[in-house]
Amino acid sequence: MNRYDPRNWQQVLIFALAPAIVGVLTLAAWLLGRSQVGPGYVHAGLALAATFFGGWQRFLAGFRDVARAKITVNVFVTLAIFVTIAVGEFVPAAVIIFIMAVVGALESYTLDRTRRSIRNLLDLTPPMANVRNGDAEVAVPVAELKSGDVVIVRPGERIPVDGVVAEGAATVNQAPITGESMPVEKFKGHEVFAGTLNETGRLEIRTTKIGADTTLAKIVHLVEEAQESKAPIQGIADRFTVWFLPTVLVLAVIGYLISGNVKVAVAVLLVACPCAFAIATPSAVAAGIANMARRAVLIKGGIFFEIAGKIDSLVVDKTGTLTLGRPKVMEVVGSDGVPENEVLRLAAVAEKYSEHPLARAVSALSRERALEVPDPDEFKIEAGMGVEAILGGQRVLVGRDVFLRDRGVTISPRMEQTLAAQAELGRTAIIVARDHHVVGLLAIADEVRPETIDAIGALKALGVGRITMLTGDNPRVAQAVASQIGMDEFRAELMPQDKQSVVKELKNDGKIVAMVGDGINDAPALALADVGIVMGAAGTDVAIEAADVTLMDDDLSRLVEFVQMSRKVLRRIKLNIFFSIIYNVVGLTLAMLGHLTPVVAVIFQEAGCITVVLSSTLLLWAEVPGPKFRPGSASASGHRAEVAA
C-alpha cells in the first residue's frame, strides 16, 4: 500500500479543486444573474469570489511584474480584470479567470507529475560500516566514522567512504562515479569511492573522506548548484505583450473618446485579453508532452521543447548510454588449429565458479553455444590477473598475458600480433592456455546499443550540430567506440566534474548544449546542460532528477523523436499565435466600432481560446518518424555493433 503523502493532496487541491470551485462559483453567479433570483450583490459577490479565488496568484504576479517594470501576460490580465470589475462586469471577469484556471492547472499538473525530488540520492552509501577495532569488527554508523578508520567491505557490499585500500584485493564496480564500463581491480594502495560496489574479494579501506567530503556528496552538490544556475527562458506570450498592452490601452482610450461609452473601452480590453496567447504555448506543450509520454519519453517542462529545437551541440555519455554497459565475448580466436568452441569450453571450465564480470561473459557465450562445461577438479583465482584450473589432469590458465608468462607459458609472435590487433579495437583480450601451450584467446567488449549508429546518423541529418562522446574509459577504448558509431569527437578519462566542465566550456562558447547520460557521474553535466536527457530504465534516480527529459525505454531513437516533436511543437505554437492575432485583430475592430458588449467580447475571445486548444490537441496524434535504418546497418540487420568495453 502506498504511503500517505500530503504533497499529493496539495497537488489535487491545486490542480483539480481550484478550477472546479471557480467554475461552480462562476456558473452560480451567471445563473442567478440570468434568472434575476435574489439581490444583485449575491451573484456579484459570487463572481468576485470566483475571480479572486482563481486569479489571486496571477494578480499578485502581475503586481510584482509592474513593480519590476516588466510587461507580461499577467500584467495584461490583471489590468483587464480590474477594469472589468470597476465598470460592474463581474461575470465576464470570472469567466476569463475560469478559462485561465483550467488551462493553467492542466499545464502545471502535466509538468509537475514528471518532477522528482533528489530524495534517496545518498542511498548508495550504506548507513552502517564494519570498522576494524584491534582484532574485532564493530558496526559503526557511517556518520560517526573518522578519517583514518579502517573499514571492512565484503563481496556484494557497497563502499561507505572514500579511502585507500590498506589490505586485500577485489573487483569494484565504480561506474556510478567514474563511468568506467568495466569493473576495476583494486589492490593495496588503490583509491576507492563511496557508493561503489565491491563485486568480488574482501577489502580493508583506510578512510580519507566521509560525509559531505566524499566524491558522491560532491556530485550531489554539483547537481544542485547547476540546477540553480539554469535561467528560465522568457515566454513568447510575454515578449508579445510588451508592445501589445500599450497598443490595446491606446485603442481602448480612442474607443472611449469616439463613443463616449466606457463599455466600449472595456470591450476592447476584454476582447484583446491575451487568453488565447497565454495558452498558445502551454496547450501545445501539454499536447506534445502527452504525445511523447506515449512513446516512453517524459519531459519536465515546455521550455525544453523550445531549447531542443535549437540544439547545436550534443554531448553523450558512452557507458550505459551509447553502449549497453555489460561485457560480451565478441570474438573467439583459436591458435594452432584449436577449434573456437574448444577454446571457449576450456575458458568456461576455468571461469565456472568465478563471479568476475568477464567470467560471466564467457559463461553466457558457452551457454548460448550449448557447450558442455564440466566442473573443474581444482581452481584458483588470482584477483586482477586470471584463473588457474585443473581438468582431467590438464592445467588450464585463463587471463592476461602477464599472468600466463609468470607461469611459464610462451606467447608466440603471432599471438602477440593478435593481442595488439584486439587492443587497437579497444577490446579486452584474455588468453587461454592448456599445459603451458596457448590454445587461443577471447576478445571481450561492451556492446553498442542496436539503435545507436542510426540514431546518431539521424540526429546529424536533423542538423543537431557537433556530437561529442564523453567517457571515463581510457583514450584507446574511447577512440574505438567513437570511430565505430560516427562521433565527431570524444573526451576520455573524465570524472564527473570533468564532464560538467565540458558542458560549461561549450555553453561559454555560446552553444546550446544537450547532454545524454545515465549514471550518477553524468548528473552534474545533465543538470548544467540546456537540455539534460537521461536513459530512464537504466539511469540512476539522481540522473533522472537532474535531467530534463527521460527516455524511459532506453532507446536512443526516442531522442530523435523528441527533437522532431520539439520542432513540431514550436511550429504549432507559432500557428496558435497566428490564430490569436487574427482573433484579436477582428475582435478589436468590432469592439472599436461598438459592435461588442463586454459579455460578447468575452465570448469572442473564448472562441479564440477554443481554436488554439483544438489546434494544439492535434499534436496528441502527431506522428514523428524515428531514425531511418540503413540497409546493412547494425540496427537493420538485427546484429549489435561491437565496440570497446
Query: What would the mean pLDDT of 449-462 be, rounded to a whole number?
Result: 89
Query: What would the mean pLDDT of 468-482 be, rounded to a whole number?
Result: 85
Confidence tier at 241 by pLDDT (50, 70, 90):
low
Catalytic residue flag (residue 317):
yes
* Predicted local confidence at residue 119, as pLDDT: 41
* Predicted local confidence at residue 360, as pLDDT: 87
**Residue 310 is placed in which grid cell?**
535549437
> Which residue has better confidence, 250 or 440?
440
Is a pLDDT exceeding 90 seen at residue 610? Answer: no
Is a pLDDT exceeding 50 seen at residue 111? Answer: no
Q: Which amino acid is at 18?
A: A
* Predicted local confidence at residue 176, as pLDDT: 63
Q: Among 11-25, 378-392, 515-529, which is the least confidently predicted range?
A: 11-25
Q: Among 51-60, 439-448, 538-547, which is the least confidently predicted range?
A: 538-547
pLDDT in tens, 486-543: 888 999 888 888 899 999 999 999 999 999 988 677 888 888 999 989 886 555 566 6
Is a pLDDT exceeding 60 seen at residue 448? Answer: yes
Length in residues, the chain: 645
Q: Does domain 297-323+449-563 have CATH number 3.40.50.1000?
A: yes
Is a pLDDT exceeding 50 seen at residue 125? Answer: yes
The fold of the 121-225 domain, in CATH, is: 2.70.150
Is a pLDDT exceeding 60 seen at residue 10? Answer: no
* Predicted local confidence at residue 343, as pLDDT: 94
Alpha carbon distance 318, 448 (integer Å): 9
Is a pLDDT exceeding 70 seen at residue 332? Answer: yes
Q: What is the mean pLDDT of the chain?
A: 80
* Predicted local confidence at residue 640, as pLDDT: 33
C-alpha angle with apex 494: 488 to 497, nearest 5 degrees?
115
Most distant CA pair in the chain, distance: 112
Q: Among 88-92, 518-522, 555-559, which is the least confidently predicted range?
A: 518-522
pLDDT in tens, 351-382: 988 877 788 899 999 999 999 999 999 988 88
Q: Which amino acid is at 170?
A: A
Alpha carbon distance 492, 498 (integer Å): 10
**Residue 206 is placed in which grid cell?**
583506510
CATH class of 325-448: alpha beta
Is residue 599 within a helix (H) or strand (E), and if so which, with residue range?
helix 598-617
Per cent of the chain over pLDDT 70 is 82
Look at residue 455 and give its three-state secondary structure: helix
Is a pLDDT exceeding 70 seen at residue 116? Answer: no
Is a pLDDT exceeding 50 seen at residue 229? Answer: no
Nearest C-alpha neighbor of 81 from the set 101, 67, 95, 102: 95
Question: How far does the chain reach from its first CA to its final CA, in angstroms?
Answer: 41
Query: What would the mean pLDDT of 435-449 be, rounded to a whole number?
Result: 89
Look at the block and give the residue holding cell 530512464: 536
List 531's β-bridge partners, or say none. 514
Rg (CA), the chain: 32
Is a pLDDT exceeding 60 seen at residue 599? Answer: yes
* Predicted local confidence at residue 627, as pLDDT: 64
Are the CB atoms for 504 and 229 separated by under 8 Å? no
* Predicted local confidence at residue 349, as pLDDT: 93
pLDDT in tens, 564-590: 998 898 888 888 888 888 887 888 888
Query: What would the mean pLDDT of 191-197 be, rounded to a whole number?
Result: 85
**Residue 236 is placed in which grid cell?**
513568447
**Residue 148 is placed in which grid cell?**
583514518
Alpha carbon distance 144, 297 (integer Å): 42
* Predicted local confidence at residue 578, as pLDDT: 85
Are the CB atoms for 598 and 92 separated by under 8 Å? yes
Are the CB atoms for 199 and 155 separated by under 8 Å? yes
Are the CB atoms for 116 and 223 separated by under 8 Å? no
Are the CB atoms for 468 and 314 separated by under 8 Å? yes
Nearest C-alpha neighbor of 635 from the set 558, 557, 570: 557
Is a pLDDT exceeding 70 seen at residue 120? Answer: no
Q: Among 9-13, 341-345, 372-376, 551-555, which is the least confidently predicted range?
A: 9-13
Look at residue 409 and give its three-state secondary structure: coil
* Predicted local confidence at residue 641, as pLDDT: 35
> Which residue has better confidence, 645 or 69?
69
Contacts made by residues 135-142, CB under 8 angstroms, sequence distance 24+: 142/210, 142/211
Domains of the chain, by residue range, sit at 1-113, 121-225, 297-323+449-563, 325-448
pLDDT in tens, 615-627: 888 888 888 776 6
Query: What would the mean pLDDT of 443-452 be, rounded to a whole number?
Result: 86
pLDDT in tens, 57-89: 888 988 998 888 877 767 777 887 888 788 787
* Predicted local confidence at residue 164, as pLDDT: 93
* Predicted local confidence at residue 240, as pLDDT: 65
> Which residue has better confidence, 274 or 347?
347
Residue tagged active-site, from 162, 317, 530, 554: 317
Per cent of the chain over pLDDT 90 is 18
> Which residue has better confidence, 223 or 59?
59
Is a pLDDT exceeding 60 seen at residue 554? Answer: yes
Is a pLDDT exceeding 90 seen at residue 434? Answer: yes
* Predicted local confidence at residue 180, as pLDDT: 59
DSSP sequence for 465-534 = -EEEEE-SS-HHHHHHHHHHHT-SEEE-S--HHHHHHHHHHHHHTT--EEEEE-SGGGHHHHHHSSEEEE
Query: Is pTM, for the whole model, over 0.85?
Result: no
* Predicted local confidence at residue 152, as pLDDT: 94
